[in-house]
Structure 1
Amino acid sequence: SKVFILSSANPDFFISHADIHQFSKAHPLPPDLHQNATLINLQYFTITRLLSSLPQIFIAEISGRAFGTGQELAVQMDMRFASPGAVLGGLEVALGDFPGVGGLQYMAKLVGMGKAAELVLGQQTVGAEEAEKSGLVNKAFGNAEDMRRYVDALAGRIGLWPEGGIVATKRGIRDGEGPTEEAMNVDGDAFIALSELPALQAGADRFLELTEDETKNKFELGLTEDLVQIYQ
């Protein structure tokens, strides 16, 4: 296959954030699950690098919330398209960390330094139309069906071309506009270091209390607009 499309069967979420229990002292994961979470995190680091290095084209169809990890993954794909239910945002800075698994580097490339600072430091969400205007996604659609139809046609069209031209084009775009491996590694190290600090652990504790440990809790669904409640 030359093109892969990533979408979600859950209309509320494209991909949500990581399990916050892994950062919490008051509500930690059981030891066996914590080991699994550590392994998953290492695999996630690897996956984000593969999005850049693999020859295939990766396209995100965003119809629900893409928070934290979900947003980081989306911005590192080759293209992103959004339907009206799409909401993109982060929570890392509010908890005491930052999107250090490539998300910040790619977001700055997509929307510019000033807009990236506004969105990430302000921990602001954007819907489909605003995401298109800022360059965070390629295009916003009036409904999910139109998005899927367009992406399917685009993927099919790309798939007709010889592989060599596709690979060279992706490499040229990534080499010219993508972040350096060194910058990605520096961010990754900083992300891990911050995740071990008391500030993040306290933020994670409060976050889990506000979500009542439920994915579709009102606070969770309102992320990131509700993040200020952590400090109230």
Structure 2
Amino acid sequence: MNAPQFHVTEISDAYWRASFGNGSDNSIDPDTIEQLDELVARIEAAPALTVVVFDSLNRETFMAHWDLTTDRARLTAMRPRPSGLHPYVDNLVRLSKVPAVTVAAVRGRADGAGSEFVLATDIRFASENAVLGQVEVGLGAVPGGGAMARLAHLVGRARAAEIVLGAGDFPAALAERYGYVNRVVPDGELDWLVDSFARRVAGFDKTAITTAKALLDLASLPADEQFGPGMTAYLQTAWRPVNAVRIREALERRKGWDPY
């Protein structure tokens, strides 16, 4: 049995906390996809649940990019879901639409796939030490989890282009200014802010929460068909031999391009 990566604490029927942990670097791999599928289904089926907080067991990395050493064949062999989307993308689309409010408490880095997870949540609160970014283009690949569609809606086309095509680091203060995250607070205040907000939402009527969220989704979420092409492009570009040197060099200079 594979080790659990999402550790769920049911604080109450209305308020859950899901803490992510996967090895020393908190990267995302095929086990993450399968376990997130189970967690999203569990959230969808919880009758009283109104808010879920996602945080990390690793204070240095909220969620890292895709594990480039993992089994590529297992990823590419995953069959599309009834939505027609690859399971990785399908999970994020479903996560963005669960009836409960989802809150990301971002401490440390959220790179590539980690950033795409953050973008699929409803609300993003960040520690002053958070760093977000879409690293894929810098590694010779195309983001596969919907970064282009979500960022364009969230921060506008020009800033989305800067984030995706520049493949650099976006420290917390800049991410807040761009609208990549909702709010940045001192690191020591992040847990208090997130817990206070979650408890407030958990005290509200579920029907009001789910109906209001569904209408927000209708007004603001990208159409599902915008997500498939990105994953197809990722699978076509990520493991090309020409990328090998670029990946090695980029991972050696972990912080990458950061002029800010």
Shorter-chain TM-score tier: 0.7 to 0.9
**In 2: Cα distance, 1:40 partner to 1:17 partner:** 19
TM superposition shift of 1:34: 4.0
**In 1: Cα distance, 2:139 partner to 2:154 partner:** 24
Aligned to 2:31: none
**In 2: Cα distance, 1:46 partner to 1:171 partner:** 18
TM superposition shift of 1:72: 0.8
Residue number among 170, 177, 190 corresponding to 1:147 in the alignment: 190
TM superposition shift of 1:96: 2.5
Give 1 or 2: higher helix fraction.
1
The verdict on how the C-alpha distance between 1:148 and 1:175 changes in structure 2, with shifts beyond 3 A counting, is same
Structure 1: unaligned runs, 5 residues or longer: 23-32, 212-217, 227-232
**In 2: Cα distance, 1:210 partner to 1:146 partner:** 32
Aligned to 2:176: 132
**In 1: Cα distance, 2:161 partner to 2:206 partner:** 37
TM superposition shift of 1:179: 0.5
Count of aligned positions: 204
Matched, 1:21 2:65: no
SS at match of 2:96: helix
Whether the 8 Å contact between 1:88 and 1:125 is mirrored in structure 2 is yes
TM superposition shift of 1:35: 4.2
TM superposition shift of 1:37: 4.3
Aligned to 2:229: 186
Matched, 1:54 2:98: yes
Matched, 1:219 2:259: no
* TM score, norm. by length of structure 2: 0.71
Residue number among 151, 162, 175 corresponding to 1:118 in the alignment: 162
Code of the residue aligned with 2:144 in structure 1: it is G
Identity %: 31
Per-residue Cα deviation, 1:69-116 (whole angstroms, up to 9, x for no partner): 001110111010111210001221122222231122111111111111
Per-residue Cα deviation, 1:187-214 (whole angstroms, up to 9, x for no partner): 3333333336x3xx32145423664xxx
Give 1 or 2: higher strand fraction.
2
Code of the residue aligned with 2:232 in structure 1: it is D
Whether the 8 Å contact between 1:21 and 1:208 is mirrored in structure 2 is no
Code of the residue aligned with 1:109 in structure 2: it is H
SS at match of 1:7: strand
> Matches of residues 65-76 of structure 1 in structure 2 within 5 Å?
65-76=109-120
Whether the 8 Å contact between 1:63 and 1:83 is mirrored in structure 2 is yes
Aligned to 1:100: 144
SS at match of 2:65: coil
The verdict on how the C-alpha distance between 1:193 and 1:37 changes in structure 2, with shifts beyond 3 A counting, is closer
Per-residue Cα deviation, 1:15-43 (whole angstroms, up to 9, x for no partner): 00111235xxxxxxxxxx44444468954
Whether the 8 Å contact between 1:73 and 1:103 is mirrored in structure 2 is no
Whether the 8 Å contact between 1:105 and 1:179 is mirrored in structure 2 is yes
Aligned to 1:44: 88
Whether the 8 Å contact between 1:5 and 1:60 is mirrored in structure 2 is yes
> Matches of residues 147-186 of structure 1 in structure 2 within 5 Å?
147-186=190-229
SS at match of 1:81: strand
Aligned to 2:26: none
The verdict on how the C-alpha distance between 1:120 and 1:78 changes in structure 2, with shifts beyond 3 A counting, is same
The CA RMSD measured in Å over matched residues stands at 2.2
**In 2: Cα distance, 1:127 partner to 1:107 partner:** 16
Code of the residue aligned with 1:88 in structure 2: it is L
Whether the 8 Å contact between 1:21 and 1:204 is mirrored in structure 2 is no
Structure 2: unaligned runs, 5 residues or longer: 1-48, 80-85
Aligned to 2:57: 9
